[in-house]
Structure 1
């Protein structure tokens, strides 16, 4: 038997990362933020001076970059050329640029195949020793793992999502563009606002993190019955 796959999609600010990590922790699963693969690819291109307008050059960087993903839900991190870049891939510069990689139709399939392989490995071994993985992103329920045991689309009101991402002292305009602007750009290549057939919708606008975690764990238990 292979491990469970829990796929969680949704736009930024819905709480999917926090919920996914907590679900993975409680169930003893690996945690895979697929968005980090796009972010680290963006950082690699920025560092190497790759012109994002040259789609083939971006794809070449994506195909050859040296990346290692640590899927520990308590301490997930990303290594680029052996350097921990977990903080760097969360900067405003990367956040405002990442859609140039995510919407690159040459680079995207390369990263998608990487994501499928990471998920597959966690169902037979890996960090979780085969127990499985919680994978979150924007197309996991439909493109990357459409046969996942549990598929959830997390949603929330736009203003609530922006407010969640706007920490104390943050520039609201920058946060709004990073959240809603990226949504608009990514929506040109992937649908993540409406649940596909068989995908559960979880609106977190008025939910606490604990309530959302319990809802996903409940679906996981049902899937394993």
Structure 2
């Protein structure tokens, strides 16, 4: 089964955002990945809901919204209003994760949980059957263009084993330093969804890059 490809809008050219969004709409990309940063949970700020509303209006692809923020549950209504398919929250930002996952599902979205590079896969055992997807960060969250953390491949293998052992149907998504080379290894290890930013938007032919990632 071919991987789901989710271009990260964080790497788009915001001076020509509509043009980049149309490129994604016309490509083989499956989702649009939207990173929201608050400058608290991560040391950077990305964009807010006014920009996201614009993206949602132009997007013909399902929205995968990744909240790198504290208290993400406060924004469930806003994310729902965008028409998001997936709402992704960080394990590290949610002391009451099970409750947040329930709230996301009750709002009509698919709940996903993200783990940072230093967070063990084993901590997901009690939530793995309640989530639609797990996002493995293969860089430290907060900045685009970082070098891929090699241990992430083994982490994906470990997560795939946990999913199989528990009978979970959760998808595995990976974000950070994903390109054709790392993407191929991640898919081989068991990843279902590849988030790619720089690899797509800095490519000479972004549409072709999406096609090549889709073929991994």
Q: TM-score range by the shorter chain?
A: 0.3 to 0.5
Larger relative contact order (CA 8 Å, sep ≥ 6): 1
* Structure with the higher helix share, 1 or 2: 1
Could you tell me the TM-score, scaled by structure 2's length?
0.32
Larger radius of gyration: 1
Could you tell me the TM-score, scaled by structure 1's length?
0.31
